Every structure is written in C-alpha cells, then in structure tokens.
Structure 1
C-alpha cells in the first residue's frame, strides 16, 4: 500500500499552514488538540487521454479585383485529408491547437448574388423593394424645413426663401444623392466574388478521468485527487488503449476497464491519432483531532501534501466581520 510517512510535528505544521490562509480561522485546535485517529484511505486515479485531429472546411469570400485564380484548370483540387500538415503537427497530447490552411486549387470566381453581378444595388431609401437592375433616378423628397413650400414663414407674416432647399421645396435622396443606386458593399462594386475553401484543422486531447476512493475519502472532491502527486501503476500508449492487467488485483483490472469503457466520443469530422491510459495510486491519510467532546477531521493528499478540510473547523470566528482577532492571536 502507498503510505505517507509523517510525524506529528509535520502533520500539525501542514494543518497550521492551511489554516493560516483563512483569515478568520484560529490555529489553537491545530496546535493543541490531540490527534485521536489516523486512517490510510488511498485513492486510485485512472485517466484515458484521446489525442485526435479534426478537419472541417469553411468558405471564405472576398471581392474579386481580377488577376490569377488558383482553380482546377491545371490539376484537381486536393481533398481535405490529402493536405500535408506534418510541418504544423504539434506535440502529442497538447490540450488544443488550431490552424487554418487554404486548400490548393479551390478558388473560384462567382457573380455577386447581392447585386446580381451589376456592382450596385437599388437605393433602400428612394428605391425600396426594387429588384436588382430596376430603379428610378432623380427622385426628390419634400424639404423638412419648409414642408415643400420653398419658403419659411416668420411671425411678422413675411416669408423668406428656404436656405436648406434653396427655395425649391424638394431635396435629393440623402442616401444616394437621387442616383437611385448604391455601390454593392459585398463585392465593392466589382460584381464578382473570389471564393476559396479553407481547412480548419484542430488537434486536441479529450480526457476521461475516474476516481476509485474508499468510504473514508469519499468526502474529498475528485479534482483534488486529479491534481495530487501519486505513484503511477501503469502508463500505456497505443492507437487504441485496452484495459491494463494486474495479476494480483481484480479490482484494479475492473477499474481500468471502467475507465476505458468511458472513452470520450470522437466527432465524425475527426480521426484518432493515439491514446494514453494511466492508473495512479494517490496516498491519502485522514486525521481526526479531538478535544473533550469535540472533534474534526482533515485529509493530507498526495506527495505534494495538500490539506483538505471539508466544512467543520472548531475555531472559525467570521460572521462577515473581518479581520478576526482570534486569527491574529493564532
């Protein structure tokens, strides 16, 4: 069994240091209460990491200003999984890496659908609801300053020429200057678009993690065991890992099988590169401290000796008022 070798001085120092990071916890119980019970409750941690490569195609479009097109005229377009990306391949089991690569010979020029290849569209202000190619020029609107009269009324009964419309009573369309047309923003007025295919390639690691803990350590959150330092009992790497085999432990064999059976699902756009399966044992010791009729328990986890104290500690003095004098004295 994996066991931590700790004397009473080390145990109390670890607990006092843990309590010292909580400003309203007093250190007296950690310093003076008797260590009543010590229980070894080691935990097994199993992981299965699946490293995969995922490829998808997206289309990019930009205005076409003329020039050469990397199309299929000379040779066929490369397939998505025919792209050679060895120069960008990451270290195995990196959490995530993404790259974008243009697919050779995938470019095409297309007529802009927004303007039907004309390079301009009807003005939405003076030619609303018109189809591309149909519009009216020189449409005017009543001047809002003189209400279309061309004159401005004054309180003394006199009139003056409206300066906003120069006395005409009408103004051209503020959006297009009454041309009836606007330059198409999609193709920048060129009428054509250049479209290409982009391969979005993602390398990532999917992880399955399981913990096998005795009842004595059941109250400790799994994430503490996952980050704790323990002893590796197995570490295998293959295209597809199979359960580990321990000649003297049926329970470990079953635990390994459970980890493998819980393998993360692989997206249909991805392929598995390889897998890695590990099982570790993490030393966990539960200590119970007692003073008269009061007691509390805490855990020391892993070779990094992380202290975990769940809820109850007898010297907590914070009811929303900080700092706490008991903590300062402790």
Structure 2
C-alpha cells in the first residue's frame, strides 16, 4: 500500500498543527471566514477595527498608493467551512470509510448511469483501500488594468467638459470606487469618460469647411477648390436633346428635357458635398475614454502520490478539501509551516509561478490557499477481474476513469440487462 502524503506516525497530530507562523505585522483572526469573496466596503469597515489589511485595499483608490510588500494578512481555517468532524475524518485527516459506506457511494454513482449494472458494486470483494491524499495550491492575483482611447464625434454645439474648468485627470487618478467589484471576480470591464478631457478640433477631412469637392464632378480637387455647374452628357440622347425614331421623327428627350446635359447625380452640380466625417459641422468633439478591467489571474498546482496520478488535476481543483492556510495580502509570500519542509517548498513553488501581470495593470490583492483533498483509492475484485475507483474530497465524490465491469449498452438506453439487475 502506498504511503499517504500526510504521515500517520503522530496519532495526536491534527490539522491545527499546520497553521501559518505569522510575522509580527500579520494577524490571525479567530472568527471563521465563510465567504470566498470580500467586498471593498467590508474591507474598509474591517480596517477601522484592525490594521492587518494592506492600505492599498481599504484606503482611497484615487492615488493608488504603493503598499508595503512585506505587509501580509493571513486567514487560517483548520477545517473546510466547518463541515468536517472527528467522526468523519481521523486526526490525521484520513477519510474513515467502512465497507458499507464505500459500496453505497459506488452504487449511487453507478445508479446515475442507466447502462451500468450495480452487481459489481454490491457483490465484488473490496480487495484494497488506500489513502492517496492530494495537496492543492492556488495563487489568485486580482489586478486592475486601465488603458485610454480617444473617441471622436461631430460637434453639435453646446458646452463641453474641457481643461479650461480643471486639469485633465490622469488615468490612475480617477476615482472608480463606485464600479469596484468584489475581490477575485473572474472578470469585469467598464468604460468611462476621463473628466475634463473634451476638446473641439477642426475637421481634418474638410479643413473646417463642412463640405468637400464632389468626388464625381470635381474628382481630385483640393478642399476649397471646386467648379460649379459641371454637367455630363445625357446618355439617352447623347447630347442632342432629341430622340430619333424609326419613322424619321424626333421627340424631346424626357431624361434631360431637351437640354442634352444632365446635372451631377452626387451633388446636383453644386460642386460640393457634405463632409461625412463631421456631418457638415466643420469640427469634431474629441474625448479620452478609460477602459478599466478587473480580473483574477490564477496559478494552480497539484501534488499527488502515484496512486492518484491517473486522476486529472481539474478533478482535485473542483473537489472540496481541508484548508491548511489561507493568506490574503497585497502580494503574497510563501507560507511557513513549522514542521513540514514539503509544504513550505510546495507553497514556494506556487508563488514562484505567479502569473504574469500586464504592464498596464496594477495588483490590487492576492490570495494564496493550500488545501489537502482527502482521496481514497478502492480496488474491487472478483476472480481474475478487478477495477479501481476514487472517493475524493469532503463531499465524497466518486471518480471512475475508464473500466467498469458491468456496462451494457448496444444502442438501447436503458438496456434490458440493466433492468434485470
């Protein structure tokens, strides 16, 4: 039997042993933290009680002061959400499952698959039960990214919010507290006008005239230079003004009314046409617009024994485990466990693989969590046949990757063999 990641030599050892050994400027709240997301207002109100959170979160975000990178807030939970108990898990965190519970979990799992028979789950011998506990570590980096773009529209008159009233605010001087989302949301984006950034500019297309030489009858003319009354030859009477008939008679051309010439179809032979860029106004109203994105960059890592190596990492990330540490700070540093070199190195590896932060972004907060996910590998056998499955997490989810000996599906769902069992 393979050894579990957590040693069983210390019978009186509990999860409480693996608490974070905080620095002098860290804090260890005694209350349980029951939510994964903390609002900005909650952090600011908490700041009035204790000063463990970095100023970059609870202080005004108008100037976004640079926080002390050594300042670190720590949240520790000995159990996952308070749902575990000594009756369910041993003092070393192993799942205590008897044969009846194992069979019930597998029967329930098989029961949700209409083409699987339950006989192996009910009758086959349980040959081996192995502990394959898995460590799951995450580092969530919550960032705010700002970039500026210029928008242009025709100026229709009226007052503008320009620099004559007050200097234009810088991109990171804008107060966006009303738009600030919950910490560690996957993504949120907003667009807002930068105050005092509006200005009126002469249209470069028509040089402020509002009109351009007609592209049909004055093609190639520079702005301000055009010819009026440019006519084209009538394509019906070919400039005669009369239409000849086979009997030798002539009639007045109806298309040009006998003139033999037609006005320009684009401008009516005015020689000018309205500038489409400024819609004939001659000037533009330009403003700077800030696009602000909040998002969470995640680094995830799994450490599993060979007994659980066949299970995809995503299964462990979805599973509920027991938190060993939960650190929240401006920029997290590796956790320190007084009696576990492995956990210290595991935490350091996660921090070292921190996700890349774009140059236009700033870090708002980070959260570093290390959990142990209880994993039990069960092997069932009958004669020369055997198969294995896993019971994962505190919610006891069953994972069976490939082989199960009682599958009956030949295109009939539910099939007859399933109904017999």
Question: TM-score when scaled to structure 2?
Answer: 0.70
Q: How far apart, CA to CA, are the structure 1 residues paired with 2:240 and 2:404? A: 86
How far 1:72 sits from its partner (Å)? 1.7
Paired residues for 1:258-277 under 5 Å: 258-277=349-368
Pairing 1:292–2:383 present: yes
SS in 2 for 1:216: helix
Moved more, 173-182 or 246-255: 173-182
Does structure 2 retain, via aligned residues, the 8 Å contact 1:51–1:93? Answer: yes
- Decide whether aligned partners of structure 1 residues 280 and 166 sit closer, same or farther in structure 2, where only a CA change above 3 A counts: same
- Decide whether aligned partners of structure 1 residues 152 and 217 sit closer, same or farther in structure 2, where only a CA change above 3 A counts: farther
List alignment gaps of at least 5 residues for structure 1. none
Q: How far apart, CA to CA, are the structure 2 residues paired with 1:145 and 1:322? A: 75
2:148 alignment partner in structure 1: 57
Paired residues for 1:40-119 under 5 Å: 40-119=131-210
1:177 alignment partner in structure 2: 268
How far 1:201 sits from its partner (Å)? 1.9
How far 1:81 sits from its partner (Å)? 1.5
List alignment gaps of at least 5 residues for structure 2. 1-91
SS in 1 for 2:175: coil
1:205 alignment partner in structure 2: 296
Q: How far apart, CA to CA, are the structure 2 residues paired with 1:160 and 1:25? A: 91
How far 1:85 sits from its partner (Å)? 2.2
1:2 alignment partner in structure 2: 93
1:313 alignment partner in structure 2: 404
How far 1:258 sits from its partner (Å)? 0.4
Give 1 or 2: higher strand fraction: 1
- Decide whether aligned partners of structure 1 residues 72 and 10 sit closer, same or farther in structure 2, where only a CA change above 3 A counts: same
1:167-210 superposed Cα distances (whole Å, 9 cap, x missing partner):
55654444333434332222121010011111222222211111
Does structure 2 retain, via aligned residues, the 8 Å contact 1:2–1:282? Answer: no
Q: How far apart, CA to CA, are the structure 1 residues paired with 2:407 and 2:261? A: 80
Q: How far apart, CA to CA, are the structure 2 residues paired with 1:14 and 1:25? A: 15
1:63-84 superposed Cα distances (whole Å, 9 cap, x missing partner):
1122222222243222111222
- Decide whether aligned partners of structure 1 residues 325 and 114 sit closer, same or farther in structure 2, where only a CA change above 3 A counts: farther
2:69 alignment partner in structure 1: none
SS in 1 for 2:268: coil
Quick one: which of 207, 216, 219 aligns to 2:310? 219
Q: How far apart, CA to CA, are the structure 2 residues paired with 1:307 and 1:153? A: 93
Pairing 1:34–2:139 present: no
2:282 alignment partner in structure 1: 191
Quick one: which of 348, 357, 370 aligns to 1:279? 370
How far 1:122 sits from its partner (Å)? 3.4
Number of matched pairs: 330
2:19 alignment partner in structure 1: none
Q: How far apart, CA to CA, are the structure 1 residues paired with 2:311 and 2:124? A: 23
How far 1:285 sits from its partner (Å)? 1.0
1:234 alignment partner in structure 2: 325
Quick one: which of 339, 347, 354 aligns to 1:256? 347
Moved more, 62-71 or 13-22: 13-22
SS in 2 for 1:134: coil
